[in-house]
Structure formats: C-alpha cells, structure tokens
Amino acid sequence: MRWPAKLIEKLTHIASQIEDNDFAPTAQQIAVNQQFTEQIHALRTRLEKLIAKDVTDFNNVLKERNIPAVKATTGGGNQ
C-alpha cells in the first residue's frame, strides 16, 4: 500500500456523502464503493502473502544467523 491514506480518504469521503444524503446511493456511488472495496481486498491479499511468505523466509535467514525473528501481524493496529 504505497498511499494507503489516500484510499482511506476516498472511502471516508464517499461514505460521508452517502450518509448525509436523504436519498439512496446513486449507481455511480455504488460502483465507486465497489471499486474501492476491490482495491482494499487486493491490497489486503498482497499484504497477507507478503507476511506469510516473505517474512517467514526472512525469519528463516535470521534464525540461521542467530538473530531474533521479526513478528508481523495483520491485526487492526494503527496505520
């Protein structure tokens, strides 16, 4: 996620537009929301793969050299 804040800002903006409106979301708002949701899922999948494979491989190298391992989680921490 090179610019995660920008995606969060976009989602927050569209959510506030929909929330402040007395009418149902437009087709365009629904489409944009779906696009952002797909982007988030794709980025989340990439992050999980990175943690599962690359961090594990890196920790194996560290273990071979008697260096403490890196701990990584995908939990809801601060951004």
Q: pLDDT tens-digit profile of 1-45?
A: 455 667 778 878 877 877 777 788 889 888 988 988 898 889 889
Question: For residue range 38-74, what is the model confidence (pLDDT) as tens digits?
Answer: 988 898 898 888 888 888 888 889 889 998 877 766 6
Looking at the domain assignment, is residue 8 inside a domain?
Answer: no
* pTM across the whole model: 0.55
Looking at the domain assignment, is residue 52 inside a domain?
Answer: yes
Looking at the domain assignment, is residue 60 inside a domain?
Answer: yes
Among 74, 79, 7, smallest CA distance to 39 is for: 7
- In angstroms, the CA 37 to CA 39 distance is 5
Whole domain around residue 31: which residue ranges? 26-70
- In angstroms, the CA 78 to CA 73 distance is 12
Looking at the domain assignment, is residue 35 inside a domain?
Answer: yes
Q: How many distinct structural domains can be found in the chain?
A: 1
The mean of the pLDDT values for the chain is: 80
- In angstroms, the CA 36 to CA 43 distance is 11
- In angstroms, the CA 26 to CA 64 distance is 56
pLDDT at 64: 92
